[in-house]
Amino acid sequence: MAHSYVMLVVHIVFSTKGRVPFIGAAHRDRLYDYMGGIIRNERGILLEIGGMPDHVHLLARLRASVSLSEMLRLIKGRSSHWMNGLPDLGYRFEWQDGYAAFSVSESRIEAVRKYIQTQEQHHARRTFQEELVTLLRKHRMEFDERDLLD
């Protein structure tokens, strides 16, 4: 085969440092736009973004030439730097060290989009940690619940 064909769609979830509700309504939309710009700058496509004041969900198509860990380093590093440069922020913004990432098949993209769009409804019934544990179990990932806190 003369060419490489790659379709990487990933659902990525990570929280603010200590799960502090840093993502307020005053900055949320601009932060989400900025994060989308980081992905576009790496020639990826942000399909959906959403979350709550203490965490974010991204659904993105990523290029195979940029590793997932590198993409997360760029997204988290650049977006926290941008947030901390806002004159009206009033606190030091930080993301948690880790993240969760799940591959998404083409047939499930719309379902994951809707899941991300309805975060407020999910979190009326469960905490971020409960949501994360559910996602990790659904994807049959091994984890230690003690490692979910930072």
1 found inside a domain? no
84 found inside a domain? yes
Q: Is 89 helix (H, G, I), strand (E, B) or coil?
A: coil
6 found inside a domain? no
Q: Which of 51, 67, 55 lies closest to 118 in space, CA to CA?
A: 51
42 found inside a domain? yes
pLDDT per residue as tens digits for the range 59-94? 999 998 889 999 999 999 999 999 999 988 888 999
| Spatial separation of the C-alpha atoms in residues 29 and 128, rounded to whole Å | 20
Tokens coding 85: 């440069």
If you search the block for the tokens 């974010």, which residue do you land on? 56
Q: Is 100 helix (H, G, I), strand (E, B) or coil?
A: strand
Residues 6+ apart with CB under 8 A from 33: none
R_g of the chain, CA atoms, integer Å: 15
Residue-number span of the structural domain to which 142 is assigned: 14-148
User: What CATH number should be reported for the domain holding residue 27?
Assistant: 3.30.70.1290
3 found inside a domain? no
Check residue 112 and give its pLDDT: 97
| Spatial separation of the C-alpha atoms in residues 99 and 142, rounded to whole Å | 14
Tokens coding 95: 């993301």
Domain tally, the chain: 1
DSSP letter for each residue of 25-58: HHHHHHHHHHHHHHHHHTT-EEEEEEEETTEEEE
Q: Is 14 helix (H, G, I), strand (E, B) or coil?
A: strand
43 found inside a domain? yes
18 found inside a domain? yes
| Spatial separation of the C-alpha atoms in residues 142 and 150, rounded to whole Å | 18
Q: Note down pLDDT in tens along the chain; length 150 residues.
A: 677 888 899 999 999 999 999 999 989 999 999 999 999 999 999 999 999 999 999 999 999 888 999 999 999 999 999 999 998 888 899 999 999 999 999 999 999 999 999 998 888 888 888 888 888 888 898 888 777 766
4 found inside a domain? no
